[in-house]
Structure 1
Amino acid sequence: MNAHDEPQKTPDGHHVVINGRKWRATDPSLPEDVAARLRRHLMAARRAVRSATTADDASAERLARARVQHAKVALGERGTPWWEQSPDQRRRRWEDHLAKLDADAPDQQDS
Structure 2
Amino acid sequence: MHPVTPDGRYFVVKGQLWRCTNPSLQEDLRQQLVNELMAARRDVKVAKVASDPQQLKAVRARVHAAKIALGERGPVWWDDGSPDLNRHQVSNTPYAQWYETLCKGTD
TM-score (norm 2): 0.69
Deviation for aligned residue 1:9: 1.1
Matches within 5 A, 1:71-82: 71-82=66-77
Amino acid at match of 1:21: Q
Q: Secondary structure at the match of 2:12?
A: strand
Equivalent residue for 2:63, pick from 61, 68, 73: 68
Deviation for aligned residue 1:19: 4.0
If asked which structure has higher relative contact order (CA below 8 Å, sep 6+), I would say 2
Amino acid at match of 1:53: K
Structure 1 portions without partners, runs of 5+: 2-6, 86-111
Stretches (4+) displaced over 2 A: 18-21
Q: Secondary structure at the match of 1:35?
A: helix
TM-score (norm 1): 0.67
The Cα RMSD (Å) is: 1.5
Q: Across the two proteins, how many residue pairs are aligned to each other? A: 80
Q: Please list the CA deviations of residues 60-81 of structure 1 after superposition, one character each: whole Å capped at 9, or x if unmatched.
A: 1011000000100000000011
* Number of the residue aligned with 2:4: 9
Matched, 1:30 2:25: yes
The structure having more radius of gyration, on CA atoms, is: 2
| CA distance in structure 2 between the partners assigned to 1:37 and 1:19 by the alignment | 28
1 or 2, which has the higher helix percentage? 1
| CA distance in structure 2 between the partners assigned to 1:35 and 1:66 by the alignment | 18
Percent identical pairs in the alignment equals 50
